[in-house]
């Protein structure tokens, strides 16, 4: 869970609430309708995601006294369906051991830690700012807190930390889960430029098992926010290791890479050394999965990028999360890839979809009247039996436009937000971002989820995924499909998406 220019930030005194910059004018036009965002203030990484008795718990990196990154707390929200969220009181506050950085949460069904049967246990990084200034590299350590009332109140373990830093500058973001083969807890920890695996019988006493990745994968920045979990393909179990990276993403800044391989309870062995990305867009980071969801592997990311996260033009909140996504595996040729699809629960936000068939595009087709686009929260799905060059253009009366499409020559999907609206708040925001097409057949499907200031692209059954932010001065109301060489859209589905949380709900 890295902060932008953390060493520099940590060398400066943080502004007290009274010193925080004035809150900019509110931007209700940018409030998301079916993605979680706090009612106010700063949010980054999702943390401690765990499902317990019908409730999805989402904890998150939170600064309650400002709209830019500051001393980290664990915010808390709950949902019955990952769509309708209710903000809860802050779960974990900074203390004498440090700030509360990223981590995970588990249900200790067998009371291995002794806190109580079915205790909800949070495993997180304590970040000691004073120790960091000394340059000892001992400022990040792993600690515990537990809840016996379903996450409502929390008690920090009196003997924290439970895993002390051996002298590694970046030693954080523990993702813990029970391993049935090893019959113990496994911690997947980000340790500078690699992942280190630890094991424990009781969440309190940890032993180092192995390291992974020093010379594998992308290393354009620090490795962070890892996750390790099994998925099944054609009756065989594989293990997926997520490793978030900042910077060094495929379209600049932060992003989520992954490896597919095997884990024997001690060591992770990848199938090959190919670098793969869970999301090619610039605006998905720190993505990890929920614990305790049975056979479903459910993923959520922070919808921003450290290049410009502190400058995003929203108020009085800053940052949101991606759509929750269900993960799977798919083989293409000799490679096994991670797939990512919006959770099925989203269907309940869509009234009866409008379906058009047999559309011929050459060179252009104006869809404005056919779709009757009057809202900035909608889903659009295109299916074709013969994929060709196309560009979908969304525009408004101000002349702003967002362009999305496919370049057959380069075999890449793209999102171009250079003329999408506000872009001048940071030099790295405007751009045309590319996502390789991993599917090999001529038939294709492209699904787009729009929510006020975000679009998430899921193509070819979730093989190619991209997340983008944009900030138009007014909603896009015109939709045009361009295909200079011709394109037959065999099926086009459009649905308005109802808001599940027009404003974040306080308890």
**Is the CB of residue 412 less than 8 Å from the CB of residue 433?**
no
Q: What is the CATH number of the domain that holds 488?
A: 2.60.120.560
**Is the CB of residue 67 less than 8 Å from the CB of residue 124?**
no
**Is the CB of residue 411 less than 8 Å from the CB of residue 437?**
yes
If one counts the domains in the chain, the total is: 2
> Residue 1: is its pLDDT beyond 70?
no
Calculate mean pLDDT across residues 184-213: 98
**What is the band of 326 on the pLDDT scale with cuts at 50, 70, 90?**
very high
Q: What angle do CA 279, 276, 221 make, to 5 degrees?
A: 80
Calculate mean pLDDT across residues 301-305: 98
- As a whole-number percent, the residues of the chain with pLDDT over 70 amount to 95
Distance CA 96, CA 63 (A): 17
502 lies in a domain?
A: no
179 lies in a domain?
A: yes
Do 255 and 372 belong to one domain? no
> Residue 7: is its pLDDT beyond 90?
no
Do 293 and 314 belong to one domain? yes
Do 332 and 363 belong to one domain? no
507 lies in a domain?
A: no
Structure tokens at 392: 């979908």
Do 362 and 267 belong to one domain? no
- Looking at 292, 317, 342, which one is the last position of a domain? 342
Q: What's the whole-model pTM score? A: 0.95
149 lies in a domain?
A: yes
- As a whole-number percent, the residues of the chain with pLDDT over 90 amount to 92
Do 359 and 416 belong to one domain? yes
190 lies in a domain?
A: yes
- Looking at 342, 375, 405, which one is the last position of a domain? 342
pLDDT in tens, 412-425: 999 999 999 999 99
pLDDT value at residue 22 = 79
pLDDT value at residue 14 = 35
- Looking at 281, 311, 342, which one is the last position of a domain? 342
Please count the CA atoms within 13 angstroms of the CA of 73 that sit on its side-chain side.
17
pLDDT value at residue 474 = 95
Do 490 and 455 belong to one domain? yes
pLDDT value at residue 63 = 98
- Name which residue leads in pLDDT, 22 or 257: 257
pLDDT in tens, 72-94: 999 999 999 999 999 999 999 99
Calculate mean pLDDT across residues 378-400: 97
Do 473 and 366 belong to one domain? yes
175 lies in a domain?
A: yes
SS (H, E, C) 55-116: EEEEEEEEECCCCCCCCCEEEEEEECCCCCCEEEEEEECCECCEEEEEEEEEEECCCCCCCC
- Residue 10 CB burial class (10 angstroms; 0-12, 13-18, ≥19): middle
Distance CA 356, CA 367 (A): 11
503 lies in a domain?
A: no
Do 411 and 289 belong to one domain? no
Nearest C-alpha neighbor of 169 from the set 150, 144, 194: 194
Of 45, 128, 227, 283, the catalytic one is 45
**What is the band of 11 on the pLDDT scale with cuts at 50, 70, 90?**
very low
pLDDT value at residue 295 = 93
pLDDT in tens, 240-250: 999 999 999 99
**Is the CB of residue 379 less than 8 Å from the CB of residue 448?**
yes
**Mean pLDDT score of the chain, rounded to an integer?**
94
> For 362-407, where are the E strands, in sequence order?
364-366, 377-384, 390-395, 401-407
Do 22 and 127 belong to one domain? yes
Calculate mean pLDDT across residues 140-163: 98
Do 300 and 371 belong to one domain? no
Calculate mean pLDDT across residues 217-245: 98
What is the residue range of 379's domain? Answer: 351-496
pLDDT in tens, 433-469: 999 999 999 999 999 999 999 999 999 999 999 999 9
Distance CA 471, CA 452 (A): 8
> Residue 48: is its pLDDT beyond 90?
yes
In whole angstroms, what separates CA 216 from the centre of its chain?
22
SS (H, E, C) 262-293: EECCCCEEECCCCCEECCCCCCCEEEEECECC
Torsion of CA 44, 82, 460, 484, to 10 degrees: -70
38 lies in a domain?
A: yes
Q: What is the CATH number of the domain that holds 225?
A: 2.115.10.20
Residue 45 annotated as catalytic:
yes
**What is the band of 373 on the pLDDT scale with cuts at 50, 70, 90?**
confident
Do 170 and 84 belong to one domain? yes
pLDDT value at residue 374 = 85
Structure tokens at 92: 């974990």
Give 12's contacts (C-beta < 8 A, 6+ positions apart): none
Least confident of 116-125, 310-319, 338-347, 369-378: 369-378
> Residue 21: is its pLDDT beyond 80?
no
Calculate mean pLDDT across residues 198-205: 98
Do 300 and 185 belong to one domain? yes
> Residue 15: is its pLDDT beyond 80?
no
């Amino acid at each position: 869970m890295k902060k932008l220019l953390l060493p520099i930030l940590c060398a400066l005194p943080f502004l007290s609430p009274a010193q925080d910059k004035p809150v900019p004018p509110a931007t209700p036009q940018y409030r998301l309708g079916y993605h979680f965002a706090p009612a106010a203030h700063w949010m980054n990484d999702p943390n401690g995601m765990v499902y317990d008795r019908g409730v999805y718990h989402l904890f998150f990196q939170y600064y309650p006294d400002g709209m830019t990154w500051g001393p980290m707390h664990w915010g808390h929200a709950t949902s019955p369906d990952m769509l309708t969220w209710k903000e809860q009181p802050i779960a974990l506050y900074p203390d004498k051991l440090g700030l509360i950085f990223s981590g995970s949460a588990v249900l200790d069904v067998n009371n291995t830690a002794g806190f109580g049967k079915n205790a909800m246990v949070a495993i997180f990084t304590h970040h000691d700012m004073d120790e960091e200034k000394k340059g000892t590299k001992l400022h990040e350590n792993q600690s515990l807190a537990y809840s016996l009332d379903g996450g409502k109140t929390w008690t920090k373990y009196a003997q924290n930390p439970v895993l002390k830093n051996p002298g590694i500058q970046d030693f954080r973001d523990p993702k813990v889960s029970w391993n049935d083969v090893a019959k113990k807890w496994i911690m997947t920890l980000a340790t500078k430029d690699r992942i280190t695996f630890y094991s424990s019988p009781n969440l309190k006493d940890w032993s180092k098992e192995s390291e992974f990745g020093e010379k594998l994968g992308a290393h354009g920045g620090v490795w962070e926010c890892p996750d390790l979990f099994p998925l099944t393909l054609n009756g065989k179990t594989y293990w997926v290791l997520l490793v978030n990276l900042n910077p060094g993403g495929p379209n600049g800044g932060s992003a989520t890479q992954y490896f597919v391989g095997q884990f024997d309870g001690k060591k992770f062995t990848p199938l090959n050394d190919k670098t793969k990305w869970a999301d090619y867009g610039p605006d998905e980071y720190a993505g990890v999965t929920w614990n305790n969801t049975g056979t479903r592997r459910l993923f959520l990311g922070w919808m921003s990028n450290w290049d410009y996260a502190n400058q995003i033009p929203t108020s009085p909140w800053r940052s949101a999360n991606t759509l929750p996504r269900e993960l799977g595996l798919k083989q293409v040729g000799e490679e096994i890839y991670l797939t990512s699809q919006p959770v099925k629960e989203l269907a309940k936000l869509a009234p009866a979809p409008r379906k058009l068939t047999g559309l011929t595009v050459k060179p252009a087709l104006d869809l404005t009247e056919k779709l009757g686009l009057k809202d900035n929260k909608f889903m659009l799905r295109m299916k074709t039996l013969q994929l060709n060059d196309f560009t979908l253009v969304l525009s408004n009366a101000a002349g702003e436009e967002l362009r999305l499409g496919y370049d057959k020559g380069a075999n890449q999907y793209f999102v171009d937000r250079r003329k999408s609206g506000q872009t001048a708040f940071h030099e790295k925001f405007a751009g045309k971002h590319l996502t390789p097409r991993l599917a090999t057949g001529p038939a294709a499907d492209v699904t787009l989820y729009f929510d006020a200031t975000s679009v998430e692209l899921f193509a070819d059954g979730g093989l190619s995924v991209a997340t983008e932010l944009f900030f138009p001065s007014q909603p896009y109301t015109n939709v045009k499909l361009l295909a200079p060489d011709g394109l037959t859209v065999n099926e086009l589905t459009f649905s308005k998406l109802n808001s599940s949380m027009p404003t974040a709900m306080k308890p």
